[in-house]
Structure 1
């Protein structure tokens, strides 16, 4: 099974692309969804965040006050790195188990929706291809301000915390430009899916996995035979 990374800049329209991929029957493992799950009240990451940042970043019901926490970590890089060191191991653990489940189910590939794929760098070596969603930079800024009700300064801080769109596009295997209307975006998604469906790289990986499994089973069988003979001789 191939792992395909889906990333892009904040407010470039990655969710639009991900939704279209789902409509086409593609399995999406969304890191943002997992990130919300691992910090639910009482979970290990939640406890560490509370201890590190204090109870003032919690809502009355115990959930994280995300806007407040966002203000803290985006204004102080050291605290952002600390937050990532708490949440990322838990997120990657969940991603691993979900990928394993899809592998066993026989999927040709799954798409990992990873907003910070390049920034974190931890998953880059595991993905076979990368899809980057981009748009005009001025458009990105305006969308973010409108979507999150940010001031220009707040929006610029969020954008500058990530790699530039140009850098991400240079590292991509597929680029989807979401600057135009949604039909143009959907057309590009169809083209990418068509190319992914023609890939047979997953068979190589399955062959390696099958070979490793057969080797392991052979070693276990040989060990049992040897043990049985030894017990017969010395029993």
Structure 2
């Protein structure tokens, strides 16, 4: 991974991270999605799921042996020490798996997509960071229509994440996604060319 350019892509709920990463993936860029990796490390047979079962018993599992996410979420959000324990089980494994996948990437540069890129310290794995940015009002509107989430829930998720201002201050590059997708794609085309130049430098 030493010589490979890794670009971290982030943005809040409803900002259009997936639209952006899908577009760059279609250009042949390897995409590693931290959310997908986080699900993979707790699949049946994985050490993290075994540790969860040992700690909480069969209540933590669904009848098919997979993780009961809803039950576990309630458990760890009710007790900060339980959340810390869970993070100690999952975060190092998620990080290792992300590094493995980024190392295996064969595209000119690789994309690490993570909603908590800055909060989780995953930005340390990247050389550049790209924020897909929209005003909070648009985030709420898009997330509500997409997931049928209620507005209160969405506002709670936004409040739990780093503020838009802080993300804008930390990001190397910012793509505005407050208009249509063509507007976003035009910016991504320019950034893609720039990243290719950096990768070849």
Aligned pair 1:116/2:116, yes or no? Answer: yes
Contact 2:33 2:112 in 1 (8 A): yes
Matched, 1:24 2:31: no
Query: SS of the residue aligned with 1:119?
Result: coil
- SS of the aligned residue for 1:159 comes to helix
Aligned partners of 1:34, 1:69: CA distance in 2, in Å? 18
Paired with 1:183 and 1:70, the residues of 2 have a C-alpha distance of: 37
Of structures 1 and 2, the larger Rg is shown by 1
The 2-side partners of 1:54 and 1:141 are apart by: 37
Which consecutive residues of structure 1, in runs of 5 or more, have no partner in the other structure? 204-235
Which residue is 1:172 aligned to? 171
**What RMSD in Å do the two structures reach over aligned CA positions?**
2.1
TM-score by length of 1: 0.75
Gap change, CA 1:109 and 1:17, over 3 Å in 2: same
Change (3 A) 1:146 1:58: farther
Counterparts of 1:57 and 1:33 in 2: how far apart (Å)? 20
| Runs (5+) with no aligned partner, structure 2 | none
In the TM superposition, residue 73 of structure 1 has moved relative to its aligned partner by 4.1
Contact 2:29 2:108 in 1 (8 A): no
In structure 2, relative to structure 1, the CA distance for the partners of 1:14 and 1:75 (3 Å cut) is: farther
More helix by share: 1
**How far 1:146 sits from its partner (Å)?**
3.2
SS at match of 1:199: helix
Distance 2:56 2:145 in 1: 29
Q: Distance in 1 between matches of 2:167 and 2:117?
A: 10
